[in-house]
Each structure stands twice: as C-alpha cells, then as structure tokens.
Amino acid sequence: MSYWNEKHFKVFETPGLEARMSALIEKVRPKFEELGTQYSAYFSGKTGEEYHPHVAKHMRRTVNPPNDSWVAFAPHKRGYKAVPHFQIGLWESHVFIILAVIYEASGKSAMAERLLHSETISKLPRDMVVSGDHMKPEASTLKDLGEKGVEQLLQRLRDVKKGEFVIGRHLQRDEADNLSKSQFDELVEKTFDELLPVYNEMLNK
C-alpha cells in the first residue's frame, strides 16, 4: 500500500480556505505528525542535538487556502524559520524532501559564502533539485542548472535580503503513489543523509 496517494494530493484541489484546511487536517496532517516524530529522532541521532518537529498550521491565513503544507525539523523548539531547516511536505504536484534557508534566516550571507567556497554541493547527486524561492513549487535539477546557476543562487542568498536557497528531492505525484512507507523512508533517509554535509557546511560545523 502506498504511503502517499491521490487523496493526499487532492486536498490542494479543495476550494475555499475552511474546506481545504479541514481536508488538510483530516487527511495530511496525521502523516506529518507521524513523520515529525520519526525524523526528529533521526536528526537528533545524527547530530547529537535535540531536534523538534514543526507541523505547518497555516494560522495566519484568512482568505487564501494553502497550496502546500509540510513538517519542518530544527533544533529549536519555538520555531525553525530563522535557521537552516529540513522539511518533508506536499504540493498538489509532488512531495518535497528538502533543506531550506529562507529569507528570515539570520547569518545567511555567511552560510552562502561558506557554500560558495566549498565543494559540498558539487558532490551531491545531479538529480537533486534547487530553488531560490520556497513559496514556489518549481525547481531545477543540479544537472540542468549547472555550476554557474547554483553559484548565482548562492550569490543571491548572500547579497539579497529576500534571497533563499532550497535543495533536496521532489517526488512527483504519480511516483509517490507507487511507494510503500518503507520505500518512502528509504528515499527520505538517503536524501537527508546526502544533505547533512551541506547543512553542516552552512553552520560551519
């Protein structure tokens, strides 16, 4: 039985804020709660720090229904946006397994500078995807973007206040529908294992 299926993705086709939130809470959030517990323990074990799950609540929304949702992982109990963090989440089109530095993060210029002078990203599998905006579902593979494209994204992260850097894997809706829980876990752990050196480089660990 697949861990993600059509009913999860179809949540984002539900019209109206209230109806979509209700579908999200009923169908998707239990998955995020489960993954939150599981992968907080994974990151705590890998890093030796206590990690906390942060399931998106979409509390600030008053009109527009959310187009994506997620669980984030960070060593901070109160929040995750001000630090580099990991996420597992859904858009209508795909599942994402990512490491993100978003515009709220403090010290992102120094993080970008470290990555610009490091070989860490060049050692990643070329099918990994990168983006400069966590609010958009689109991303380019490392292969397609090339060294120059990655460099430009990192320079933007360093120099532009709104600059962001998101890297990881996307699992398309039909691909996700074919994976059991254990197969999905295998992909998530592989992805996070590959991203941890990038995370450590960002934080100069």
Q: Are 90 and 96 in contact (CB under 8 A)?
A: yes
Does residue 169 contact residue 127 with C-beta atoms inside 8 Å?
Answer: yes
Domain membership of residue 73 (yes or no) is yes
Q: Which domain holds residue 103?
A: 6-202
Would you say residue 184 lies in a domain? Answer: yes
Counting other chains too, the contacts that 17-26 makes at CB distance below 8 Å and 24 or more residues apart are: 17/61, 17/62, 17/63, 17/64, 17/65, 19/65, 20/65, 20/66, 21/58, 21/61, 21/65, 21/66, 24/58, 24/66, 24/69
Place of tokens 């959030």: 29
Summarised one tens digit per residue, pLDDT across range 85-124 is: 999 999 999 999 999 999 989 999 999 999 999 999 999 9
SS3 166: strand
CA angle 183, 184, 185 (to 5 degrees): 90
Counted domains in the chain = 1
Instruction: Assess if residue 137 is contained within a domain.
Output: yes
> At CA 95, angle to CA 148 and CA 13, rounded to 5?
120
In a domain, 80, yes or no: yes
Q: What tens digit of pLDDT does each residue of 75-85 get?
A: 989 889 999 99
CA angle, corner 75, sides to 202 and 71, nearest 5? 95
Provide the greatest CA pair distance for the chain: 47
What rounded mean pLDDT belongs to the chain? Answer: 96
8 A C-beta contact, residue 143 and residue 127: yes
Q: Is residue 196 part of a domain?
A: yes
Tell me the one-letter amino acid at 158.
R
Whether residue 81 is contained in a domain is answered as yes
* pLDDT per position as a tens digit, 36-62: 999 999 999 999 999 999 999 998 888
In a domain, 1, yes or no: no
Asked if the structure places residue 130 within a domain, the reply is: yes
pTM exceeds 0.75, yes or no: yes
Please report, for the domain that includes residue 58, its CATH number: 3.30.930.20
Q: What is the CA radius of gyration of the chain?
A: 16
